[in-house]
Amino acid sequence: MANKVDIHYCTGCRWLLRAAWMAQELLTTFEGELDSLTLHPGTGGIFEVWVNDHRVWSRKEEGGFPEIKVLKQRVRDQIDPERDLGHSDR
Q: What does the pLDDT look like over 22-44, one tens digit per residue?
A: 999 999 999 999 999 999 999 99
- The pTM score is 0.94
C-alpha span between 48 and 42 (Å, rounded) = 10
pLDDT of residue 90: 64
pLDDT of residue 86: 84
Low-confidence residues of the chain, pLDDT below 70? 88, 90
68 burial class (0-12, 13-18, 19+ CB within 10 angstroms)? middle
pLDDT of residue 19: 98
pLDDT of residue 8: 98
How many CA atoms does the CB half-sphere of 41 hold within 13 Å? 6
